[in-house]
């Protein structure tokens, strides 16, 4: 018995429709903003929950000192960020800020975390930078770490 030419062709159209449909279902209908990975380590990645735990602990001066040191370093990097531009231009420099004393830094982080318990120390520091006249145009989110 002889088969027609059409019978020998694989059935590709239904497969193509299924593959296209699956692809369309896997891709959201709207554009998704890409989250950029940020290479940040240290106490700035502490969640507000973790900060509150250390803040409430007895004999916490050492840990609170590390948090302040991280925030000061972050503010210093904010002030120096124009130095990382391909060519330094005066307009590349942000509004520089003067980092406040340790008590002010801790109070700012405490206040931010009370209002934003799902936030983190880095976000609190950005809010502080903004309150001091710095230009802040984005946020920092870190993967949930459970504490």
- Tens of pLDDT, residue by residue over 26-41, are 444 444 444 444 567 7
* DSSP structure class, residue 59: T
Q: Higher model confidence: residue 71 or residue 85?
A: 71
What are the extents of the domains in the chain?
A: 43-131
Q: Higher model confidence: residue 1 or residue 124?
A: 124
Q: How many CB atoms lie within 10 A of CB 86?
A: 6
Q: What's the pLDDT at 23?
A: 40
- Tens of pLDDT, residue by residue over 50-64, are 999 999 999 999 999
Tell me the whole-structure pTM to 2 decimals. Answer: 0.66
First CA to last CA distance, the chain: 72
Rounded distance between C-alpha atoms, residue 135 and residue 102, angstroms: 21
């Amino acid at each position: 018995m002889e088969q027609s030419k059409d019978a020998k062709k694989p059935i590709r159209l239904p497969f193509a429709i299924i593959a296209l449909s699956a692809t369309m279902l896997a891709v959201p209908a709207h554009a998704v903003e890409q989250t950029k990975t940020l290479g940040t380590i240290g106490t700035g990645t502490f969640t507000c929950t973790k900060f509150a735990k250390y803040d409430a602990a007895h004999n916490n001066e050492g840990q609170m000192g590390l948090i302040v040191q991280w925030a000061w370093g972050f503010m210093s990097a904010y002030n120096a960020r124009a130095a990382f531009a391909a060519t330094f231009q005066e307009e590349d420099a942000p509004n520089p800020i003067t980092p406040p004393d340790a008590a002010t830094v801790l109070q700012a982080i405490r206040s931010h975390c009370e209002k934003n318990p799902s936030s983190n120390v880095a976000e609190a520091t950005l809010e502080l930078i903004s309150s001091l006249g710095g230009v802040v145009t984005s946020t920092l989110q870190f993967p949930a770490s459970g504490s």
